[in-house]
Amino acid sequence: MIPENSPSAAARLSGASGPPEAGRRPVVGVSLKLYFGLAATRTWLADVAALKGALAELPRPVDLFVLPSFPALADARELLAGTGVAYGAQDVHWAESGAWTGEVSAGMLAEAGARYVEVGHAERRRHFGETDATVAAKTGAAVRAGLVPVICAGERHDNGRAQAVEETLIQVRAALGGAGPDSEVIVAYEPVWAIGAREPAPAPHIRTVASAVRTCLRDHGVRGRIVYGGTAGPGTFGRLAGSVDGLFLGRRAHDTAGLRQVLEEVAAPPCPPRFPSAPREFTVQDTYRIALGADDAATAMKDTMAAYLTERGHRVTDLSAADGEDYPDVAERVARSVARGEHERAVLVCGTGIGMAIAANKVPGIRAAQIPDSYSAERARKSNDAQIACFGSRTMGVEAALVCLEHWLVSDFAGGGSAPKVEKIKQVESRNLTSPGLPAV
């Protein structure tokens, strides 16, 4: 039975990786599982230690950690000393001490010099019956001892992105229940069906789940990074478009030449986003005068959209938040510029896009739509003649947002049966703006 509150070991400060919104230091981890004996593990650790020079020459720092079997922790301490490579364990017990035959506490791992510990791997769930409650208890023990838990999570079967997000978030939220605010954690997204497969999960699949996990980490107030595991190796990181902070490797790191290649890929300076092509079924006919606005939570997405729109030939004016302003101020300023005819269209970005849409729609003559997907983006124009598209920086990835933005830009109001409905919207607006005695809302 898992105790609700295991006694804590003396905690030591965990290394900060910055708040979730800040630039996160890239990270690469390797779990050796039970593939090597003790002599082979020592040889491999020596080869990793020899990467010290390569690590120092990377264009930006990368945190590298390795997780050998318990008996090899002393070897890791000896062989990795002074290299900058951290080490840890593949499992931990939730109790600090007591009658737990064969178990190892988080405090003992910390005494052994460990920095990281893996919890919740699918193999431990499958073979040893570990549950979400077990993983939460182990996460809490790790955090209290000053270790960084590497929380493994992922769906069992390939049943689409929506199911993957739902199943993964259940596991992540449960594990984070054991970690207090401002704890440092790493979430290793490992779809079970991709572990040991010939290829990793498709990049769009990984990006979708990673975006949802990122939002979950923000909501819990932890300092979190995300790595992808599941047949990860050379070439994997570059396809993930900045959606993860690194990789969690297995057998593909047994050859340290491959590990070095991964480190170089992860350390490469971020490239400007590769903008999607216009949807094939559409042809861009016009460029527009576009007002762009965002609050402080969405600056990065807004800047990417500005570059994208400029590259497409649109004339962009940034009307984002000044000091002391919040999203209603931005939304009103942008919406008024459209209502006055200064801009033909506008794009607003905040955490969800919902608040911006609500505020913009208070300006007479404005139809602002929150855009969650490409179909909604197209219908916002074709059916509703929406002049303003509102996006959520915490509800969708940048690449998905750009695809939706393109659908919205190249769609025109269809008229026909939609025209009377839009006219009725205008009449509703006119009646309620001019009718006296309405209660304030």
pLDDT grade, residue 276 (50/70/90)? low
pLDDT grade, residue 270 (50/70/90)? low
In this predicted structure, the answer to whether residue 20 has a pLDDT above a threshold of 50 is no
Q: Which of 93, 121, 314, 343 is catalytic?
A: 121
pLDDT value at position 13?
Answer: 30
In this predicted structure, the answer to whether residue 333 has a pLDDT above a threshold of 90 is yes
pLDDT value at position 309?
Answer: 87
Residue 121 annotated as catalytic: yes
Q: Which residue is associated with the tokens 């490239």?
A: 271
Task: Give the CA angle between residues 394, 400, 401 to the nearest 5°.
Answer: 65
pLDDT value at position 213?
Answer: 92
Average pLDDT on 279-286 reads 47
Q: Which of 190, 265, 399, 406 is catalytic?
A: 190
Left, alpha or beta for 325 (phi > 0: left; psi -120 to 50: alpha)? Answer: beta
pLDDT value at position 345?
Answer: 95
CA distance 6 to 9: 9
Average pLDDT on 181-189 reads 96
Residue 311 annotated as catalytic: no
pLDDT value at position 296?
Answer: 81
Lowest mean pLDDT among 80-84, 172-176, 179-183, 242-246: 242-246
CA distance 358 to 348: 11
pLDDT value at position 312?
Answer: 81
Smallest CA-to-CA distance from 31 within 260, 263, 266, 259 is with 259
Q: Which residue is associated with the tokens 């923000």?
A: 218
CA distance 247 to 194: 14
Average pLDDT on 298-306 reads 85
Average pLDDT on 81-95 reads 98
In this predicted structure, the answer to whether residue 435 has a pLDDT above a threshold of 70 is no
Is-contact 296 303, C-beta < 8 A?
no
CA distance 9 to 328: 47
Average pLDDT on 53-67 reads 96
pLDDT tens digits, residue range 344-366? 999 999 989 999 999 999 999 99
HEC profile for 163-183? HHHHHHHHHHHHHHCCCCCCC
pTM of the model: 0.64
Q: How far is CA 431 from the centre of its chain?
A: 44
pLDDT grade, residue 23 (50/70/90)? low
pLDDT value at position 51?
Answer: 97
Lowest mean pLDDT among 32-36, 323-327, 389-393: 323-327
Lowest mean pLDDT among 111-120, 149-158, 204-213, 426-435: 426-435
CA distance 109 to 111: 5
pLDDT tens digits, residue range 374-383? 888 889 999 9
pLDDT tens digits, residue range 192-240? 999 989 999 998 889 889 988 988 998 899 999 999 999 999 999 988 8
pLDDT grade, residue 277 (50/70/90)? low
pLDDT grade, residue 279 (50/70/90)? very low
- Look over the chain and give the mean of its residue pLDDT values, rounded to a whole number: 87
pLDDT value at position 239?
Answer: 83
In this predicted structure, the answer to whether residue 46 has a pLDDT above a threshold of 70 is yes
In this predicted structure, the answer to whether residue 391 has a pLDDT above a threshold of 90 is yes
% of the chain beyond a pLDDT of 70:
88
Delineate the domains of the chain, giving CATH numbers in brackets: 27-267 (3.20.20.70), 289-432 (3.40.1400.10)
